[in-house]
Structure 1
Amino acid sequence: MAGERLPGPATPGADVPVHVGLRTSDMDEATDFCRKLYYGPLRIEPVGDPGRLRFTADVATLGPITVGEVRYGTDIRVSIGALETAYHVLVPLNGFIRSQHRGSAVFADASRAVVYRPTGDIEIDWPGTCRLLSVKVDRAALEREVDAALDQRVVSPLPLGATFDLVDGPGRTWAALARLLLHELRGPDALASRPRMAARWRDMVVSGLALTVEHPYGEEPAGLQGPHRPRTVKRALDAMNTEPARGWTTHDLAALAGVGARVLQESFRQHVGLPPLTYLRRLRLDGVHDELSRSEPGRVSVSEVAYRWGFTHLGRFAGAYRDRFGESPSQTLRGRR
């Protein structure tokens, strides 16, 4: 079956939607389409019968977001280099996918979406029966939205949770909103095809994701993990995220929060799931990993990046880093070659 492209405007604008699509049984054509619409460093390998490939994609771009429904028709494996410039969410509409990202294996189906951060290679096992909603959001757009919503400086890239619920709460609403936007952009006379309305809808998708996905800043996303974090916990979290390299102690953070050390410890276990200094160590490790992932070998050293993020004992740092990411810091840095 030859490729059949769906009609769409030729040139995208900041708030002018562009709708394109493809139906093909040619793997090279499908790969080229996905590279142009989503990411350049992408490889697609058939795991099932290549003769059963029936790639269908219906995709719209709107300023900083790209949203589409995609299916391959045969089992494939997708390998993607570090996204770098975007965050990405995959929502299986039927079937399931398995993926590996940043040392963690994630299973996603119609009940749970998977979230990818800008750093770390991605590998996805995608059965031919799975059709999914694929949403890419430019890195700067999502980070600005979280920053504006919380009125505080955030670490880039955001330490987002790897999945979120699609059955109840904001995740279900956000996925429905993104899918409805794609449906609206298919029609030239739809309300969302008008630039002013498209811009508002675009902002709703970005801000809705910021409120849906899990992150450690301020209060929890509404409805995601129960009651909001108390002000004492928020003050300690804000301090650590603002100055992650500072030599914080539990007593320092407790004094800042206006409670005793034992109260702060218990509040963190209840509302964060980690003791304060364990959270701080993870924050620092993620910061080092993200910086090493973006750095060129020879221009920086592991030790200077580690010191910059507050690690003073390199032996303990290296062990904790390997436990968290499954590789040494130098391997992460060499991976940029």
Structure 2
Amino acid sequence: MAGGRPWGPSGPGADIPVHVKLRTTDVDEARAFCRKLYYGPLRIEPVGDASTFLFSADVVLLGPITLGEVGYGTDIRVSIAALETSYHVLMPLTGMLRSRHRGTVVYADPTRAAVYRPTGDIELDWPGTCRLLSVKVDRSALERELDAALDQRVISPLPLGASFDLVDGPGRTWAALVRLLLSELRGPDALATRPRMAARWRDMVVSGLALSVEHPYGEEPAGLQGPYRPRTVKRALDVMHAEPWRPYTIGDLATVAGVGVRVLQESFRQHVGMPPLTYLRRLRLDGVHAELSRSDPGQSSVSEIAYRWGFTHLGRFAGAYRERFGVSPSHTLRGRS
């Protein structure tokens, strides 16, 4: 192991990075390292050739964030109880990771990251070919950052999306930032290791994640919408989130907002990135997807869940669902079994 002072999670606001690493063929030693550095209720079980087990971790702790490059050398299964105090992102550098969290299965690879909320157990099927970047962010730090980017208080825990794109958009930039910061902080004399610079890098990682991951405040990341939303837009968003199944028309939403239809449409285009009814449809689709993901196919049907979320034309619904999620609604429901 390496580090300038006794290692362990730094307190919020700490600006001095702590670099630690471990390379071992001992499963118990690897398990103890991960429990101390990440989460106590964590289980690691080799399911591949145990003779090729070679745990390798190179990790930097910096205030509310923990960045690391991790691999196991053989196929393993990881089980983690609810994170509670943190949000977490896994970004494979090589190979593919199968993740199950809150009823949703995500296949993470170098093109797509897996995201974990503080609630809900996690199960990972981690091949020996998969080496990844692990980013742990304190719950309060990310929630404060997203709250500051909006003109309203966010709910806790944040209802984040289960994954995000690493090839295009803000996710690509954020992943590059994490890789660069980890590389810099592992060097002994890098500029980023100086406390004032380290604090700025730390803040960029937290704010960048808040702008990259999906959340229900609009399809575009909050930072691209601008920090302020007019009250007219907020009123329309509030009623849509409160009762997304209601058959709102654009006229209904304009009346709620207290402006004309054209003004509301232009305000949404500027501050949300899409028309009001497009936002409403995506909000409903995301609600259906979440419910299908956690429902028992023996007790629930696609049609009843779709109707409950305000979709009355099942053909158009199925087409919109496939366009958004890449699979049919029935495939999502069957995947729960």
Give the counterpart of 1:10 among 6, 13, 20: 6
* Paired position in structure 2 for 1:166: 166
Q: Distance in 2 between matches of 1:149 and 1:48?
A: 45
Q: Which aligned pairs between 1:72-87 and structure 2 lie closer than 5 A?
A: 72-87=72-87
Q: Does 1:104 align with 2:100?
A: no
Counterpart residue number, 1:50: 50
Q: Where in structure 2 are the equivalents of 1:137-156 lying within 5 Å?
A: 137-156=137-156
Task: Determine whether 1:40 maps to 2:36.
Answer: no
- Count of residue pairs the alignment pairs up: 279
Give the % identical residues.
69
> What is the TM-score normalised by the length of structure 1?
0.72
* Aligned counterpart, 2:279: 271
Deviation at 1:237, TM superposition (A): 2.0
Query: After superposition, what is the alpha-carbon deviation per residue over 1:119-154, rounded to whole angstroms, capped at 9, x for unaligned?
Result: 111101000011000000011100100000112111
Aligned residue runs from structure 1 range 283-298, under 5 A = none
The one-letter amino acid paired with 1:58 is D
Cα displacement string for residues 241-266 of structure 1 (whole angstroms, at most 9, x for unaligned residues): 6xx49998847755223467xx99x9
1:202 corresponds to which residue?
Answer: 202
Is the CA contact (8 Å cut-off) linking 2:211 and 2:223 kept in structure 1? no
Secondary structure of the residue that 1:83 maps to in structure 2?
coil
- Measure, in 1, the Cα distance between the counterparts of 2:52 and 2:224: 39
1:302 corresponds to: none
Alignment of 1:179 with 2:179, yes or no, is: yes
Deviation at 1:192, TM superposition (A): 1.1
Cα distance in 1 for partners of 2:286, 2:130 equals 38
Structure 1 runs not aligned, ≥5 long: 290-315, 318-322, 328-337
Q: Tell whether the 8 Å contact from 1:170 to 1:222 is kept in structure 2 after alignment.
A: no
Query: What secondary structure, in the 3-state scheme, does the structure 2 residue paired with 1:6 have?
Result: coil
5+ residue gaps in structure 2?
A: 266-273, 295-307, 310-332
Deviations 1:272-323 (A, max 9, x none): 5336xx48977x99xxx9xxxxxxxxxxxxxxxxxxxxxxxxxx99xxxxx8
RMSD: 3.6
C-alpha spacing 1:25/1:8, structure 2 compared with 1 (3 Å):
farther
Cα distance in structure 1, aligned partners of 2:65 and 2:127: 25
Are the aligned partners of 1:216 and 1:237 in contact in 2 as well (CA < 8 Å)?
no
Match of 1:298 in 2: none
What TM-score, normalized by structure 2, do the two folds share? 0.72
Taking a change above 3 Å as real, the CA distance of residues 97 and 223 of structure 1, as seen in their structure-2 partners, is farther
